[in-house]
A and B are shown apart, each in its own frame.
Chain A
Amino acid sequence: MRMFDAVPKQVEEELSRRGFLHLAGMFVVSVASTQAQNAGPYPDPNYRQLDSWIVIHEDSTATFYVGKTDLGQGTGTAFRQMMADELDVAFEKTKIIMGSTDVTVDQGGSGGSDAIQVDGWPMRRVAAEARRVLLEMAGQRLGVGVDQLVVSNAVVSVKGEPGKRVSYGELIGGKKFNVALSGNDVNGTTGLAKVKAVQDLKIVGQSPQRYDIPPKVDGTLKWAVDVKLPGMVHARNVKPPVAGAKLVSIDEASVKGLPGFVRVVSKGNYVAVVCEREEQAINAARKLKVNWEKPAEAPFPASEDLFTYMRAAKPMSERKTPVVGNPEAAFASAAKVIEADYDIPFQGHTSFAPAHAMADPSNGQMTIYTNDMKSYGMRLGVAKFLGIPKEQVRVIWMDGPQGYGRTAADDAGFEAAYLAKELGRPVRVQWMRDEEQAWDTKGPAFTCKLRGGLDASGNMIAFDYDSQCCNYGHVGYNEPDTVLIAQLMGVRKNPPNAGGGATPDDMYAIPNRRMSSKVVRLPLIHETPLRTGNLRDPNGPQVTFASESFMDEMALAAKADPVEFRLKLFAGSTKDDSGFKRARSIAVVKAAAEAYGWKPRSSPQRQAKGDILSGRGFAYSFRSQTVVANAVDVEVNRKTGQVWVKRIVVAQDCGLVINPEGVKGTIIGGTLHALSRTLYEEMTFDTEKVLDRDWVNHPTLTHMDSPEKIDIVLVNGDPNPQRPDLPHYGAGETVCKPILAAVANAIFDATGVRLRRLPFKKARVLAALNAVG
């Protein structure tokens, strides 16, 4: 075994160049002189120091240090583009280090699609500040005022005298800036310099290839799953057979004689087996005999009874948006009132690979190698969980399989840290497929009741939205009471999380509107496989499925074309101040309809060719300033119930686009992930455990489902599109919202059957088709 395999190569290189050898394990042993620096503790990097963000090397290349993580959408590449552009260094001459808590400032890791929208700003500002400082230094060196200087590709020269020049490397290469920054928090970090006008950006708006793709394709990337350390052992968990079970006893003799056996570790209801080799740990965890006692009360209703249970359950909390107009009066005066219920089940993150992490307790510190998207949260959470100061914990982020929110409650990192502390040796933990499928965090289930009123001319004059959701555990910054190991050990949040509902965030100008969302709880809210977590726009896909399906139901009642019906609602006037958002919504809806070639007509069309019924559908969504619309074509096989989404048009306005090809990749991934949730994904459970625990019984979208054609239109719908300060909004999660309803609307167009319960599995579609004959 190659013993030292821990820190990603680029991190290793950069750290040694910076002169801080933050290396673990083997290096500490073999490079004794650096031991003091390696040993920790690991104080927070200071965001108010330019040196925490940018290092310029002697060869005029730059390394950026940012507190974010890249979930595979190429945000690292986008950060480099933004910072290189402000700094005036060629993109290829830059590198980036992300998400390692001891060397990058705390920007919270990933989440909420805010990487570009929020965190991109301090990155741009600090890079602009570095450029300003370098220009000042160059002015002194060359004996001219800063206004006499031009800079290109890290070389500063005197205007009109290109021979008079000095490079960034010559000015500061290998040395520190020692420049203080200001800002009340990391998001506000700034120097004196202003960022460039959009018109002056040269690298932003281009599509350099993602730097992380070649090593992912040729097999050279070091992933979090690849970390190896001297003296390491492997652990596997033994989960309770049913939710809420109590551990009675462990028969350690059942595994003691097995090869490589090291130890059984258990506390409360948490049980792990540790062995020298990975396959030995897997084998021992399967063989370990544990006695469990079932809970007296069933932890949850069976999945087929879930919505009945949820509708009848007493809410724990309610969230209301301010009432617009007078909904009651409007409904009373309406010519037509439409009402519909929509049900969305629990859906898993079901990441491609299960939870995993390595923890190293060397030197009395705790280093965790992980793909945790919120490495800073994990650092705080683990410190609290283990009862040690956060300065003793560092979390090194590395690439991993994405679960899009799964690692906001990163169980394996906490488990590895706990076991490493217990054993005094580096421990690698990994869950098995069935554990991940059953026990990962879940996207909350929703049941939504919608009501709409039309006046005599078919205008939508009233809207009422009321939902109940199972979202009680909804937190997501690796809090020590959200991870499973802590809950199994009896850690409880007191009082329990109130959870949070969600309401549509469309921009329709409906003059009378009331919206309320309630949280209901299942009997068991801790130690449960139905623990909710942030699944890629935590509630957006569910709520938007209901609201955008309902918009088509309203359009049908108004005998209107669904796109025209929506556009009319954007044009309406209300007292709120949403004009900016509404203008951009109009631009995106029109762009999608145009790219699709949408001809106005009302649904359903019921076009049939043999057993294949075809139809089209539309949906729109808004989230945190980003607008998306989908137009899709579907084919429904009336003999089998199989749905194929043949064509998808996505129009999106996310403001200033940093890397168009990167954004397109994100759009395709997010859209198809939501399509998988539309067609296949659903947690099934009886009254005590999750039932379908592999890819055969819990299917996902596959190559067979991939659309024939995806068209993407990037829209700049800003009312002042040339403004020099055009903002960059988040691209990730808004795209996950509209496709569910777009497909439902297209199935209705194809078949005349309205599906109001996700997902649209073959059997469910077929039953619905047969029910209407």
Chain B
Amino acid sequence: MSKISLKVNGASHSVDVDPTTPLLYVLRNDLDLHGPRFGCGLGQCGACTVIINGAAVRSCVLPVSAVRSEITTLEGLSKGGTLDPVQQAWIQEQVPQCGFCQNGQILTAKVLLDKNPNPTDEQIRKGMAGALCRCMTYYKIQAAVKVAAQLKKSATGVGA
């Protein structure tokens, strides 16, 4: 066990765990952040996605001791009580079925749009490809990514 400091969603934490522990278990079990979830533990599905340095990172295969920068989880996506445009689009388009994978879908879409505010259909497919969904909400997700892109633009337009 060793003491490890983490910054998550703007707050600092210190945990005492085995340094090889995947970040996922620390977030879920020590910090009570349940947005990231276990799907495969193999880096193959995206359920455990968090954002670090603007990248969608799979926390199930990332040792907690390897984290150097601030972590954003699904819980940290809203700003001042307002949901991120991606989350708004997800509700507007009624994307989820069971919803279990949607943490990975939402954060992957957020990173995609932050890097490319106007993705083409093909770029959306490719950008989202690694985020699996067994309820097969892909079709609705791809539509929602476009809605989110629009919402984001109008939000930026009014200086939000």
Contacts and interface: CB of A to CB of B under 8 A. Distances in A.
Contact of B91 (A217, A259, A350, A351): A217
6 contacts: A213-B96, A217-B91, A225-B34, A352-B134, A661-B94, A695-B132
B133 A352 contact: yes
B6 interface: no
Given A225-B38, A278-B25, A433-B42, A216 B96 contact: yes
Q: How large is the interface on A (under 10, 10 to 19, 20 to 34, 35 or more residues)?
A: 35 or more
A71 B45 CA distance: 20
A217 B96 contact: yes
Contact of A213 (B22, B41, B90, B136): B90
A279 B22 contact: yes
A222 B37 CA distance: 12
Contacts of B101: 352, 401
Nearest to A222: B34
B115 to A, nearest CB: 17
Contacts of A72: 96-99, 135
Contact of A676 (B38, B39, B40, B136): B136
B135 A219 contact: no
A668 B103 CA distance: 20
A655 B74 CA distance: 39
Contacts of B56: none
Contacts of B74: 218-219
B90 to A, nearest CB: 5
A706 B132 contact: no
A1 B26 CA distance: 10
Interface in B82-138: 83, 87, 90-91, 94-103, 106, 121, 124-126, 128-138
B141 A703 contact: yes
B26 to A, nearest CB: 9
Contacts of B95: 213, 217
B100 A400 contact: yes
Contacts of B30: 1
B78 to A, nearest CB: 6
Contact of B142 (A696, A701, A703): A703
A5 B135 CA distance: 27
Nearest to B74: A219
B86 to A, nearest CB: 9
A669 B37 contact: no
A435 to B, nearest CB: 11
Interface string A321-357: 0000000000000000000000000000011111000
Given A217-B106, A223-B100, A433-B42, A673 B135 contact: yes
Given A71-B98, A217-B90, A701 B136 contact: yes
A222 B32 CA distance: 11
Contacts of A707: 139
A407 to B, nearest CB: 11
B140 A665 contact: yes
A73 B97 CA distance: 6
A353 B45 CA distance: 9
B12 interface: no
B150 interface: no
Contacts of A710: 139
Nearest to A674: B136
B97 A402 contact: yes
B78 A218 contact: yes
A772 interface: no
Interface in A418-433: 430, 432-433
Interface residues of B, number: 61
A448 B126 CA distance: 38
A665 B134 contact: no
Contacts of A684: none
B136 A353 contact: no
A353 B99 CA distance: 11
B34 to A, nearest CB: 5
Contacts of A12: none
A71 B99 CA distance: 10
B97 A672 contact: no
Contact of A672 (B22, B126, B139): B139
A665 B32 contact: no
Contacts of B103: 219
B83 A259 contact: no
Interface string B11-47: 0000001100110010011101111011111101101
Contact of A673 (B106, B130, B132, B134): B134
B49 interface: no
A254 B106 CA distance: 42
B91 A219 contact: no
Contact of A694 (B42, B98, B130): B42
Nearest to B145: A703
Contact of A352 (B17, B78, B98, B124): B98
B99 A221 contact: yes
Contacts of B78: 218
B1 interface: yes
Interface in A210-254: 210, 212-214, 216-223, 225-226, 228
Given A668-B136, A694-B40, A219 B73 contact: yes
A702 interface: yes
A274 to B, nearest CB: 15
Contacts of A350: 134
A284 B110 CA distance: 36
A139 B132 CA distance: 57
B153 to A, nearest CB: 20
B87 A279 contact: no
A700 interface: yes
A216 B102 contact: yes
A668 B34 CA distance: 28
A277 interface: yes
A282 B40 CA distance: 13
A599 interface: no
B99 A279 contact: no
Contact of A703 (B32, B47, B99, B138): B138
A695 to B, nearest CB: 4
B29 A277 contact: yes
Contacts of B21: 279
A32 interface: no
A228 B1 CA distance: 22
Nearest to A260: B18
A2 B1 CA distance: 21
Given A71-B97, A213-B96, A702-B129, 6 more contacts: A212-B99, A217-B96, A221-B99, A278-B25, A401-B101, A402-B100
A209 B128 CA distance: 25
A218 B40 CA distance: 22
A552 interface: no
A640 B99 CA distance: 33
Contacts of B132: 352, 695, 700, 702
A696 B128 contact: no
Report, nearest first, the 3 A-B pairs whose CB atoms are least far apart. A72-B98, A672-B136, A216-B99
A259 B75 CA distance: 31
A695 B45 contact: yes
Contact of B138 (A228, A259, A432, A701): A701
In this complex, which of B74, B99, B141 has the most chain A Cβ atoms within 10 angstroms of its Cβ?
A: B99
A705 interface: yes
A350 B133 CA distance: 11
Nearest to B126: A704
A706 B121 CA distance: 11
Nearest to B101: A352
A696 B44 contact: yes
